[in-house]
Amino acid sequence: MAKLNIVLYEPEIPYNTGNIGRTCVATGTRLHLIEPLGFHLTEKAIKRAGMDYWDQLDVTRYVNYEDFLEKNPGAKIYMATTKGRHVYTEVNYEPDCYIMFGKESAGIPEEILIQHPDECIRIPMIGDTRSLNLSNSAAIVLYEALRQNNFDHMRLAGELHRLHW
């Protein structure tokens, strides 16, 4: 069974983290938060964005990037960045891979990206657009990884209910 992982490197905006948390719950994805965070997890904003799903979230916090690496040895990590060489649809996402996103104001530090040039992925954009919203970017890349893994363990069909007037 596919068990993907989203990693947020020093996220700053609680609404983005809350939205990503909700997406993780809806997809059975683990969320990893690398500190420092730009907010407290007890803030109303994160709970509001995550709705009533936050208590169902599989989330792990790390004191820094080194702590994350130490506790996830050998993890295959794709790094979403505007500096990526590969479009996010060009890589093959393993069922247990990690997809990392940087903080809203600065992304993933270049000293980390330089160590993993082949794992740097980007979402195509037009012109001088700096970047997309963090929660939108996470959803775009996560759903591509889920698609590549055949939406394993997910409900693929809905059901219409005829209304009686």
Q: Report the C-alpha dihedral over residues 145, 89, 109, 16, rounded to 10 degrees.
A: -50
| Three-class DSSP category at 141 | helix
The two three-digit tokens of residue 162, written as one number: 């005829």
For 10, 11, 99, 104, 105, the CA distances from 108, given in Å and listed in that order, are 9, 10, 12, 9, 10
131 is in an annotated binding site: yes
Annotated binding-site residue numbers = 102, 123, 131
Residues belonging to the binding site for S-adenosyl-L-methionine are 102, 123, 131
